[in-house]
């Protein structure tokens, strides 16, 4: 799996589809999942930086949900998948 993690500040273009406010610091995680050496799926996750503490690439490479639930003791109610071809 290939993985990158970066931070940026929310702009109007992101506010249309997501629930963030302009100027909020976000963490963008891109994970490329592979099968038999070929890229099969790209995951783009946007998380509110102030809510996820010190999330690291190591945390994101295993399970973001496990980090949120087990380390930060958050309860995940739902997530939204956006499938585009």
Q: Which residues pair with 65 in a beta bridge?
A: none
pLDDT attached to residue 53: 80
Q: What is the DSSP string of 43-74?
A: EEEEEEGGGSTT--HHHHHH-HHHIIIIIS--
49: how many CB neighbours lie within 10 A of its CB? Answer: 14
Q: What is the pLDDT of residues 2-44, one digit of tens each?
A: 666 666 676 655 555 667 777 888 888 888 888 888 877 888 8
Binned at pLDDT 50, 70 and 90, residue 46 comes out as confident
Running DSSP on this structure, what letter comes out for residue 20?
P
In this structure, the dihedral spanned by the alpha carbons of residues 78, 60, 71 and 54, taken in order and rounded to 10 degrees, is: -110
The pTM score is 0.65
């Amino acid at each position: 799996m290939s993985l990158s993690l970066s931070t940026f500040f929310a702009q109007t273009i992101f506010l249309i589809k997501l629930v963030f406010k302009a100027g909020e610091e976000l963490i963008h995680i891109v994970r490329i999942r592979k099968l038999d050496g070929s890229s099969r799926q790209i995951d783009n996750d946007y998380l509110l930086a102030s809510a996820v503490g010190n999330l690291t690439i190591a945390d994101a490479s295993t399970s973001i949900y496990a980090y949120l639930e087990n380390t930060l003791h958050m309860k995940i109610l739902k997530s939204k998948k956006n499938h585009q071809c």
